[in-house]
Amino acid sequence: MKLPRDLSGRRLAKALRSLGYEITRETGSHLRLTTTQQGEHHLTIADHDSLRVGTLAAILAEVGAHHQIDRARLVEQLFG
């Protein structure tokens, strides 16, 4: 499955709720998300209208590594 091309930072944060992530801080144009599932993990994402594909891929790789899910399965779970 291809990565979404028009995904905002807020929509990504909302999608990541299914993995236990909650917005814990907002500073400027960035959101800090935290989960305690499978150990504590912090993630910072830009609060932009449209995330770049490379930025989105890097964020999903980090989330997948923490939750031990490959990227294809993670994309399907979040956006499928």
Does the residue 4 lie in any domain?
no
Q: What's the pLDDT at 54?
A: 93
Q: What's the pLDDT at 38?
A: 87
Q: What is the DSSP letter of 21?
A: -
Task: Quote the domain boundaries for residue 67.
Answer: 9-79
Does the residue 54 lie in any domain?
yes
Query: Among 48, 41, 32, 39, which Cα is nearest to 63's?
Result: 41
Q: Is the pLDDT of residue 3 over 90?
A: no
Does the residue 35 lie in any domain?
yes
Domain count, the chain: 1
- Please tell me the pTM assigned to this model: 0.89
Does the residue 51 lie in any domain?
yes
Q: What is the pLDDT of residues 5-52, one digit of tens each?
A: 899 999 999 999 999 999 999 999 999 999 999 899 999 999 999 999
Q: What's the pLDDT at 67?
A: 93
Does the residue 57 lie in any domain?
yes
SS3 24: strand
| Whole-angstrom Cα Rg for the chain | 12
CATH number of domain containing 64:
3.30.920.30
